[in-house]
Chains A and B, each alone.
Chain A
Amino acid sequence: MSRRPKISLTEEELVRGLRQREKVAAEALYDMYSASLYGVILRIINDEPSAEDVLQETFIKIWQSFSAYSAEKGRLFTWMVNIARNLAIDKVRSKDFKNQTKNQELENNVTFIDEQRNTVYKPELLGLKDLVQTLKQEQRSILDLVYFKGYTHVEAADELGVPLGTVKTRLRMAIQQLRKQF
């Protein structure tokens, strides 16, 4: 099968199309954002079949609750990635998913628990590119916790054993760093 050309619209055009529930807008939405959203989801879930399920749920939720999105409150992607992250984090925390993972990795039980508690940045786990490796360890770990593990900053402060203000500052510094990169 030959490669299908991807549909691309401006964000404004896309939002208008989604409001009117046009098919081409649904296709453009997928073509423009599926890879970005899947990258986030897969890093949170770390299991391809489950991540694919969550990707589907994410698009369904975006599509169904699109009337709730308002361009005044921010960028489309911010709204969508928060839906994706919430669904993915819910999935990881669900009983089913934990049982499934445990069954699969019964022998690596100890390692599994370690990984669950581990907040240290792991390139092989997250697959982050070199660009992001310029982040300091402390910045990466806080961004990792909040962005990929679904911790609130309060939980992250507790986890890392640092004051709340420090967590906020480090998070801001990490994002500042990213802003310089892009």
Chain B
Amino acid sequence: MEDISAYIESGILELYVLGDVTPDERQQVEAAAIKYPKIKAELDAIEKAMESYALEQAIEPSEHQRNRVLNSLLTNLADDKIFTKARIYTDDEDAKVVQLPARSVNFYKYGFAASLFLLVISIVAIIGLYGRLKQSTELITSLQSQNQRFSSQVNLMDGQISVLRDHSFRFIKLKGTPKAPASALTVAWSPQKKKVMIDMEGMKMPANDKKHQYQLWAIVAGKPVDLGLFDVKADTSGMKEMKAVEQPQAFAVTLEPRGGSVNPTMDAMMVISNI
């Protein structure tokens, strides 16, 4: 290019900046700008002038335009899927990174709503579970007491059965006197262990009232010895251990005033047996 100044003066560079050139002219200008720094500098000056001109006449778009435009770009971003995370700009780069307050407020708003929703659901679930837990605990308590009852019953029955298995026990059947001919009672006595038991379950004795109690006697050397008191009710069961005795000759039961008597009331003898 012979005359750079003439080229500049022609006004082609201004038209280039304004975008009013043919593709051929465009290439020509770009080639010249690379080749001649003076042309490049001139182009730069024109561009800066037009930019300042535009800045001088700048009109601020309304505030909501910013979100509208940026949203359309960011929607675009999501479509492109090539959006990279924002780099952190250091102070050296003389740049400020400003968080978008509106977006985070939205995030917290929805987050808060979701948390509240979950809280309500959790409370409902906890109340339901608490009710079931209470039911379960009650069930466990009742099963435990039932279990205890059973095990104590089993222990008791074990004790009773052990009497049957113990060969040292003798079973003496007491029969009804003329006063109570239907009565019967079995006494188990172990001479070795000096133990006396009465079978409460198998006995046939009329139930005593509140003022009276049955008293078991043993006849030892011709004299009655008190072996203890017992009551008879409709649902009486099991075996009852009475006082120990040595070498009884006979057993008898009398109906005595509540608390028992020192000597048996012979009139009120219900059952008796010899050994």
A20 touches B84 (CB 8 A): yes
Determine the chain A residues whose CB is within 8 A of the CB of B87 once the complex forms. Answer: 17, 20, 22, 24
Determine the chain A residues whose CB is within 8 A of the CB of B65 once the complex forms. Answer: 34, 38, 52, 55-56
Known interface pairs A60-B72, A182-B49; A153-B20 also in contact (CB < 8 Å):
yes
**CB proximity of B112 to chain A, nearest CB, Å:** 20
Determine the chain A residues whose CB is within 8 A of the CB of B55 once the complex forms. Answer: 35-36
Determine the chain B residues whose CB is within 8 A of the CB of A129 once the complex forms. Answer: 56-57
Once the chains are docked, how many angstroms separate the CA of A21 from the CA of B76? 11
Determine the chain A residues whose CB is within 8 A of the CB of B84 once the complex forms. Answer: 20-22
What number of B residues sit within 8 Å (CB to CB) of A?
59
B100 touches A27 (CB 8 A): yes
The 8 A CB mask of B1-31 against A (1 = contact, 0 = none) is 0000000011110110111100000000010
Of residues 40 through 96 on chain B, the ones whose CB sits less than 8 Å from some CB of chain A are 43-63, 65-66, 68-70, 72-74, 76-77, 80, 82-87, 89, 93-96
B49 touches A38 (CB 8 A): no
Q: How large is the interface on A (under 10, 10 to 19, 20 to 34, 35 or more residues)?
A: 35 or more
Kindly specify which of A4-12, A94-102, A106-114 makes contact with the partner chain.
A4-12
Determine the chain B residues whose CB is within 8 A of the CB of A52 once the complex forms. Answer: 61-62, 65, 68
Determine the chain B residues whose CB is within 8 A of the CB of A64 once the complex forms. Answer: 76
A82 touches B19 (CB 8 A): yes
Of residues 147 through 182 on chain A, the ones whose CB sits less than 8 Å from some CB of chain B are 147, 152-153, 168-169, 171-172, 175, 178-179, 181-182
B20 touches A182 (CB 8 A): no
**CB proximity of A73 to chain B, nearest CB, Å:** 6
Once the chains are docked, how many angstroms separate the CA of A7 from the CA of B99? 10
From B43, B57, B68, B95, give the contact of A10 (CB < 8 A).
B95
Known interface pairs A40-B54, A60-B76, A73-B30; A179-B17 also in contact (CB < 8 Å):
no
Known interface pairs A21-B82, A38-B58; A168-B15 also in contact (CB < 8 Å):
yes
The 8 A CB mask of A65-82 against B (1 = contact, 0 = none) is 000000011110110011
Instruction: Check if B123 is an interface residue, CB within 8 A of chain A.
Output: no
B95 touches A168 (CB 8 A): no
Known interface pairs A153-B15, A168-B12, A171-B15; A8-B96 also in contact (CB < 8 Å):
yes
Determine the chain A residues whose CB is within 8 A of the CB of B44 once the complex forms. Answer: 74-75
Once the chains are docked, how many angstroms separate the CA of A36 from the CA of B12? 24
Instruction: Check if B120 is an interface residue, CB within 8 A of chain A.
Output: no
Instruction: Check if A125 is an interface residue, CB within 8 A of chain B.
Output: no
From B10, B43, B56, B69, give the contact of A74 (CB < 8 A).
B43
Determine the chain A residues whose CB is within 8 A of the CB of B34 once the complex forms. Answer: 72
B95 touches A26 (CB 8 A): no
From B9, B17, B70, B83, give the contact of A30 (CB < 8 A).
B70
Instruction: Check if B161 is an interface residue, CB within 8 A of chain A.
Output: no
A34 touches B69 (CB 8 A): yes
B58 touches A36 (CB 8 A): yes
Instruction: Check if B97 is an interface residue, CB within 8 A of chain A.
Output: yes
Instruction: Check if B221 is an interface residue, CB within 8 A of chain A.
Output: no
7 A-B pairs with C-beta separation under 8 A: A22-B87, A42-B59, A52-B61, A55-B61, A59-B69, A171-B15, A172-B9
The 8 closest A-B pairs by CB, nearest first: A168-B11, A35-B58, A182-B52, A172-B11, A39-B59, A82-B19, A179-B49, A36-B54
